[in-house]
Amino acid sequence: MKSVIENRKTTLTANKPTLRSSKHSLWQRLTKGMLYAVLILLAIIQIFPLVWLLFFSLKNNQEVFNTPPLSFPTSPKWENYVKVWTEGNIGTYFFNSVWITVVAVVITVLLASFVTFAITRMKWKYKNFVLGLFMVGLMIPVHSTLIPLFSFFVKVNLMDNPLSIILTYIAFNLPLTIMILLGFYYALPREIEEAAIMDGCSIHRMFFKIILPMTAPVMATTAIINMIYNWNEFVFVNTFISSDKYKTLTVGIQNFIGQYSTDWGAIGATLMISILPILLAFFVLSNRIVEGITSGSVKG
């Protein structure tokens, strides 16, 4: 009798971990399911404006105002895209947005890499003071400098010149870019640089051949952040540029807004064209962006 009771106790004791693990597994599945449900809901919310804009760009003025926002157009107006590209000069504006953005991003990331390397990897007297000057730039409201910049560009004869836009983008994006790069550069092991110097590598060659390739993830992060700002910027372009041959997409949309009539379908098509490069760049560089954001957060 005692042996039977002992066997039952042993069986119950052995089953307890199994019951606990099954409950824990069930709770994990429920938690995971709830997390996926929330993420799916957030994804739908994020995609909603894009779907609305796509439908909007395929409608005429009557459908825009007389049909529900998410209703599919009865007869999609694909000619809106042809119209904005041929009659609206959007091809020129698109090309200007691309080359101005690319030039500004490349120069900004390269200059920020120079500065960050000098501050974090080299010893010199005023490096903390110089870093402080760059960080002060983060506290200056961008558009509060509009009038001083306008006066300056008039004096140096850079009004209606793409160079004024590029210089402005570089100046205002440098502080944020340097701040993002700092954490990554501080985490880089100095042994690599010491080994390169022992092998006779110059400081310039070490920077371009060793440091820059190692910082590719965080450079991709800063590049996409700079690209989004430069691509969507409106006020500086609208203030400093007056010729159609230098205008960008954000300013070119105004061509479809008239005093007495507005072509809303064409505006929607222009907006759709303008967001495609940003979406493409994000999808291509998304892994790099996440890697660049997290790589400098843990040192070791």
Whole-number pLDDT of residue 299 = 46
Whole-number pLDDT of residue 20 = 61
Residues 270, 256 contacting (CB under 8 angstroms)? yes
Residues 244, 92 contacting (CB under 8 angstroms)? yes
Whole-number pLDDT of residue 261 = 63
**Tens digits of residue pLDDT in 79-95:** 888 888 887 778 888 89
**Which run of H or of E encompasses 31?**
helix 2-57
> Domain segments of the chain: what residues?
2-57, 87-295
Percent of the chain with pLDDT over 70: 84
Name the band, by pLDDT with cuts 50, 70 and 90, for residue 300: very low
What b/e sequence results for 62-90 when a residue is b if at least 16 CB atoms lie within 10 Å of its CB, and e otherwise?
Answer: ebbeeeeeeeebeeebeebbebbeeebeb
**Tens digits of residue pLDDT in 200-258:** 888 888 888 888 888 888 888 898 889 988 998 889 999 999 888 888 988 877 777 66
Whole-number pLDDT of residue 12 = 47
Percent of the chain with pLDDT over 90: 20
**Greater confidence, 45 or 257?**
45
**Residues 238, 248: Cα–Cα separation, whole Å:** 9
Closest CA to 171 of 136, 129, 217, 127: 136
**Residues 175, 137: Cα–Cα separation, whole Å:** 6
Residues 109, 219 contacting (CB under 8 angstroms)? yes
Within 8 A by CB and 6+ apart from 241, the residues are 160, 162, 164, 165, 247, 248, 251
Structure tokens at 177: 């870019």
For 216-238, the three-class secondary structure string (H helix, E strand, C coil) is HHHHHHHHHHHHHHHHHCCHHHH
Give the type of residue at 182. Answer: L
Residue 298 pLDDT > 70, yes or no?
no
Closest CA to 60 of 79, 41, 44: 79
**Tens digits of residue pLDDT in 101-149:** 999 999 999 999 999 999 888 888 888 898 888 888 888 888 888 999 9
Length of the chain: 300
**Tens digits of residue pLDDT in 246-281:** 889 888 777 776 655 677 888 888 888 888 888 887
**Which run of H or of E encompasses 151?**
helix 146-155
Whole-number pLDDT of residue 276 = 84
Q: How many CB atoms lie within 10 A of CB 173?
A: 24
Q: How many CB atoms lie within 10 A of CB 144?
A: 8
CATH superfamily of 87-295: MetI-like (1.10.3720.10)
Whole-number pLDDT of residue 17 = 57
> For 277, what's the count of Cα atoms within 13 Å in the CB-facing half-sphere?
19
Determine the straight-line distance between the first and last CA of the chain, rounded to whole angstroms: 62
